[in-house]
Each structure stands twice: as structure tokens, then as C-alpha cells.
């Protein structure tokens, strides 16, 4: 490996941290991976080759970046912590195919970044060990912006990964499951114990691959309205779908009209949101919209 030990080992990670006098910021959710096997699984799940690009969010000290640079034609890594930029420039010096950006991915113009970095590659995947506190906003930005992505392979909190991949009927299934499955086909690749990080987080993680769909699996008349109906339906999980939707759309008390529309959609008003499939939500959203309920 360019005459150097790989970054993702306890010894090399500690050596880099000590040499640069780096201290972890809890507020940024910094946990560095020190397990080569997990890194190989993450990179393997992305299906990269020398015709493809990778966008990494939160490269830390470059353990995953190094592997991406070896697998992909072009890598762009976005790091929010200014203190890590000189470390990344040093450890990634052997890899001219990597560009490091200092910035907050939630504020960056990703369309512009893709134009600058990935014009010459066939497909791009996001590959990242995401900070837990900002996982959902980052993923939703990537998906809502309709970036030309093949896969999103991320290591996230295990319970969040379970929610993303959940099927109707269980406690994990909710508005996040539907939002992710609208844009992607999720698959959990492996679970990751908290012991393979420095410092160790309090919870276990999972690597999930979100294969980005060419088109959503359902037809909705209005995407914004669809997601609003879903969110409103799950507002209070213990309540029936009729009660949750009444609070949002029929606060004046026209319960009979709401129940009539639910029945038209083939949904018993006393069902709970967690029992409805994404297809049922799409049908319900379209029926409400056509009846002028928005």
C-alpha cells in the first residue's frame, strides 16, 4: 500500500491522530472505523470500478477514502471539520484521483459538484460513514435532488437502517421507510459492532445499500402531497389513520367525508398507518387530492 500501513488499523489511526494533535468533537459525531473487513464490505457493496465515481461524506482521516481511491476512477470527499483537511491532504497524497472539499454537504451545491467532478465517469455512488445526528437530512437531500446516483452505501445507526428497510406491519415501519423506498431499493449489507470504532459510539451500526430507482415504484399526482399524507398518517402512531388525517385535513369535523374517501381508497378508517403499503398511500393521496383535500 504505497509503502504505508493502511489507515483503518488501531495503530495507524492513533498515530495519525497523535501526530496531528487531533481531538474528537462530539458535536460532529466523529467515530473513525478501524476494521479493514468492514471497509472492504462497504466498498464492495457500492460496485465501483475504474469507469465510476464516488462521493464520500465525512471522510475523517481518510480510511474509507483510501479504499475508494483504489476502486474508483474519481473520488470527491466532503469534510466539514477544517482540522481534518491537512490530515486528508497528507494521507491521500498518493491518490491524485481524489478531491477533498471543505464544507457542509447540506449547504453545498451538489449539482455543481457533480458537474465539476464526475463529468468523465459513467455512474456515481455515494459511499460514507455518516454521522448519526445528521443521517436523515443528508440522505433526503441526496434523494430529493435527483442526483444521477447508482447506489448510496452508508454506515448508519443500526435502528435507522432497520427503519429504512422495514416492511408494513411492524414497529420499524414509518414515514422514513416509505420515503427511502419511494426513491430506492434498500438492502442491509451487514451489522457493525460499536467496538470497531475510535472512539466507540454507544450504539451498533449497520451498512445499508440503497439502490437508486430509475423511477418511483408508484404513480402519484403530486409528490409533495403524497409525502404530506404519509407524514400526517404517522403523526401519532397509536391513532387510527382516520383520526390522524382528520386532525390534519378535516379539523372542522367533516369525519363522514374523510371516511368516505378512505373507503373509496379501499382502506378501513380504523386501520393504523403502519399497516398501509406504499401503494395504498399513493392511491389514498391521489384520491384525497382529486377530492380537493390538500
Which segments are annotated as binding site for S-adenosyl-L-methionine?
31, 33, 58, 79, 104, 129
35: left (phi over 0), alpha (psi -120 to 50) or beta: beta
Q: Which residues are annotated as a binding site?
A: 31, 33, 58, 79, 104, 129
Whether cis (ω within 30° of 0) applies to the bond prior to 55 is: no
d(Cα 184, Cα 10) in Å, to the nearest integer? 34
The four Cα atoms 218, 220, 223, 228 give a dihedral, to 10 degrees, of: -100
Q: Strand runs (DSSP E) across 183-273, as ranges?
A: 184-192, 197-198, 205-212
Phi, psi at 168, each rounded to 5°: -55, 150
User: C-alpha grid cell for residue 114?
Assistant: 457533480
286 Cβ partners below 8 Å, 6+ apart? Answer: 219, 220, 221
Amino acid at each position: 500500500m504505497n509503502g504505508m500501513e493502511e489507515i483503518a488499523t488501531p495503530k495507524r489511526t492513533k498515530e495519525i491522530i497523535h501526530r496531528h494533535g487531533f481531538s474528537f468533537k462530539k458535536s460532529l459525531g466523529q467515530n473513525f472505523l478501524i476494521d479493514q473487513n468492514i471497509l472492504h464490505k462497504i466498498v464492495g457493496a457500492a460496485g465501483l470500478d475504474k469507469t465510476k465515481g464516488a462521493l464520500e461524506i465525512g471522510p475523517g482521516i481518510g480510511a474509507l477514502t483510501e479504499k475508494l481511491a483504489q476502486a474508483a476512477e474519481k473520488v470527491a470527499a466532503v469534510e466539514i471539520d477544517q482540522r481534518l483537511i491537512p490530515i486528508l491532504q497528507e494521507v491521500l497524497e498518493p491518490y491524485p484521483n481524489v478531491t477533498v472539499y471543505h464544507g457542509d454537504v447540506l449547504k453545498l451545491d451538489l449539482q455543481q459538484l457533480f458537474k465539476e467532478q464526475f463529468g468523465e465517469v459513467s455512474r456515481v455512488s455515494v459511499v460514507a460513514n455518516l454521522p448519526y445526528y445528521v443521517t436523515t437530512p443528508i440522505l433526503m437531500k441526496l434523494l430529493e435532488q435527483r442526483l444521477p446516483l447508482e447506489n448510496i452505501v452508508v454506515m448508519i445507526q443500526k435502528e435507522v437502517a432497520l427503519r429504512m428497510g422495514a416492511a408494513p406491519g411492524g414497529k420499524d415501519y414509518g414515514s422514513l421507510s416509505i420515503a427511502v423506498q419511494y426513491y430506492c431499493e434498500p438492502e442491509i449489507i451487514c451489522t457493525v459492532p460499536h467496538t470497531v470504532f475510535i472512539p466507540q459510539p454507544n450504539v451498533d451500526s449497520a451498512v445499508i445499500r440503497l439502490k437508486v430507482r430509475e423511477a418511483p415504484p408508484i404513480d402519484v399526482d403530486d409528490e409533495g402531497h403524497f409525502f404530506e399524507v404519509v407524514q400526517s398518517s404517522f403523526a401519532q402512531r397509536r391513532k387510527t389513520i382516520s383520526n390522524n388525517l382528520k386532525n390534519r385535513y378535516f379539523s372542522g369535523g367533516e369525519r363522514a367525508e374523510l371516511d368516505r374517501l378512505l373507503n373509496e381508497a379501499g382502506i378501513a378508517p380504523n386501520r393504523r398507518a403502519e399497516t398501509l403499503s406504499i401503494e395504498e398511500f399513493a392511491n389514498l393521496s391521489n384520491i384525497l387530492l382529486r377530492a380537493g383535500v390538500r
